[in-house]
Amino acid sequence: MPSSHARPLCAALTLLCAASSVAWAGAPSAPGSAGEAALPIPSARAVTLPEALAYARAHQPAVRAALARIAEERANAAVPRAAWYPFLGATAQVLEGTANNTTASTFGTEVVDLPRIGGTRSNPTAADGRWRPYASTLAAIGGSQEVFDFGRIAAASAAADAQVTVAQRAADAVALDVALGVEEAYFAVNAAKSILRSAQQAYERAQVHRDFAQAGVRSGLRSPIELTRAEADLTRFDTARIRALGGVTAAEAVLAAAVGAPDPALDAANVPTTPRELPALADALRAAEAKEPQLQAAIASLRAQEQQTRAIGASMRPDLQLSATISGRAGGAPPNGADARTINGFVPEVPNWDVGLVLAWPLYDPVIAARRDASRAVEQVRREQIDLQREQLVATVERAYVSVDVARRALPSLQREVEAAQANYAQADARFKAGMGTSVELADAEALRTDAEIRLTMGVFDLAKARAGFGRALAENL
């Protein structure tokens, strides 16, 4: 299903070609005589369609941004696995405060730091001893190592890996949209060049008619109105070819932007081959459902949310870690039943070390339970989105299928229209040269012929564009 990456390109190119064709019917006449020389066509680097697609896949900013998002999710997936690596830390502390020991119990909290002051006398002899501060120092280094996580880390890693898959499917969708934009821009360049050829040929024929009418007026065989009408037609066709040249320039600029090339414009090196035949609609729908990246991204999002729900639930499991610390400490407060240190606690001279296994088990946490329930609700949203994506995909494939079929069946009629218009023009030209026809009759035949040629060009463009859109819906380039 084409996304916003490709739609503006397609709309701009279609309007571009349509504007060139409209020039034949209603272009205002420019003042003065028409130019005699062919228009200078700006040169641009020519690329084939495979070259343009390959360059866009490697350099188009939208593709590069999608690949960067994949790299971001892979980096995020490494975060939960880092819990298996050892953790090291160090601390140095200097504390000045009272040291009145009591039998009071306290809770450990992450919000307020409570120093341990046990081991000191609880009833100082001095009346102001309760408010006298003492120094304490600490210098320590320690570490911890995960021993067994009961599946907590594995669940979190699986949830992170699922997000990588979502990013990959999204990148596939971006790559297909970019490829569709490149193909449409490439086809538009060919269409604009074909319109320019028709414009130039019509202008050259109008020059011949103007010269023929001028010779007839000079010889007295034709009235002056024949020459003025021929001059007016020549000026109108000159305006039309100028606009057609502008269409080519604009289409080449759009192609360069779609490819992501540094060039201000790119030319199409060759006319693409006849579009591939359509598969059966039932086969197309099955292929689209199996490969279309936006649907696959929706499915991957559901899987990722399910993994996230499991990871949240796994955070309620036990956790076993190995802890070890080496420290030096000292306190200046007088101990209970012993002499105080002579250094008053300013040097951490008392060594300690410890090694232990720590088992932590959050038996019940209502916040985690609520987060798990919320994640399950998101899962249901993801399921509904998958159903919506499937319906949209079916509609897109069917619409693209019909568009290709209609465009393909219209080509023979457009070809016959061109042949009939060319035959009509030949008769009008012969009548004009034989003195039996008028400039009005010849101008009508010229306009009919040119319009038919442009309509055929647009028909070829519509078929190529519709087939590219059908291929995007089926994800044929993946």
Over residues 293-317, the pLDDT tens digits come to 999 999 999 999 999 999 999 999 9
- State the pLDDT at residue 98: 76
Report the range out of 42-51, 100-109, 468-477 with the highest average pLDDT.
Answer: 468-477
Work out the average pLDDT over 457-464: 94
pLDDT mean across residues, the chain: 85
Whether 15 has a pLDDT exceeding 60, the answer reads no
- Work out the percent of the chain whose per-residue pLDDT is above 90: 58
Work out the average pLDDT over 319-328: 90
Work out the average pLDDT over 338-367: 81
- State the pLDDT at residue 70: 96
Whether 126 has a pLDDT exceeding 60, the answer reads no
- Any idea which fold 7-32+39-80+155-308+369-474 has? Outer membrane efflux proteins (OEP) (1.20.1600)
Band the pLDDT of 6: cuts 50, 70, 90.
Answer: very low
Nearest residue to 465 (alpha-carbon basis) of 20, 12, 133, 105: 12
Q: Which two tokens stand for residue 159?
A: 């949830």
Whether 118 has a pLDDT exceeding 80, the answer reads no
- State the pLDDT at residue 327: 87
- State the pLDDT at residue 373: 95
Q: How far apart are CA 350 and CA 163, in angstroms?
A: 50
Place of tokens 């690596």: 85
Over residues 219-256, the pLDDT tens digits come to 888 888 888 988 988 999 999 999 999 999 999 999 99
Q: How far apart are CA 430 and CA 444, in angstroms?
A: 14
Band the pLDDT of 25: cuts 50, 70, 90.
Answer: very low
Work out the average pLDDT over 468-476: 93
Q: How far apart are CA 192 and CA 190, in angstroms?
A: 5
- State the pLDDT at residue 124: 54
- State the pLDDT at residue 339: 57
- Work out the percent of the chain whose per-residue pLDDT is above 70: 84
Q: How far apart are CA 80 and CA 55, in angstroms?
A: 36
- State the pLDDT at residue 347: 84
- State the pLDDT at residue 138: 85
- State the pLDDT at residue 179: 95
Nearest residue to 220 (alpha-carbon basis) of 432, 435, 438: 435
Band the pLDDT of 277: cuts 50, 70, 90.
Answer: confident
Over residues 263-274, the pLDDT tens digits come to 999 999 887 777
- State the pLDDT at residue 276: 84
Over residues 158-199, the pLDDT tens digits come to 999 999 999 999 999 999 999 999 999 999 999 999 999 999
Band the pLDDT of 478: cuts 50, 70, 90.
Answer: confident
Work out the number of other CB atoms within 10 angstroms of the CB of residue 179.
25
pTM above 0.85, yes or no: no
Over residues 383-417, the pLDDT tens digits come to 999 999 999 999 999 999 999 999 999 999 999 99
Q: How far apart are CA 344 and CA 331, in angstroms?
A: 7
- State the pLDDT at residue 346: 82
Q: Which two tokens stand for residue 466?
A: 């519709």
Whether 10 has a pLDDT exceeding 70, the answer reads no
- State the pLDDT at residue 18: 47
User: In the chain, where are the structural domains located?
Assistant: 7-32+39-80+155-308+369-474
- State the pLDDT at residue 412: 94
Helix axes 49-59, 224-259, angle to 10 degrees: 40
- State the pLDDT at residue 19: 44
128-134-135 Cα angle (round to 5): 165
Over residues 90-100, the pLDDT tens digits come to 988 888 877 77
Whether 290 has a pLDDT exceeding 70, the answer reads yes
How far is residue 316 from each of residues 147, 369, 455, measured CA to CA in Å?
17, 9, 69
Tell me if 414 sits within 8 A of 456, measured CB to CB.
yes
Whether 36 has a pLDDT exceeding 60, the answer reads no
Q: Which two tokens stand for residue 129?
A: 């001893």
Over residues 227-236, the pLDDT tens digits come to 898 898 899 9
171, burial (CB in 10 Å: exposed 0-12, middle 13-18, buried 19+): buried
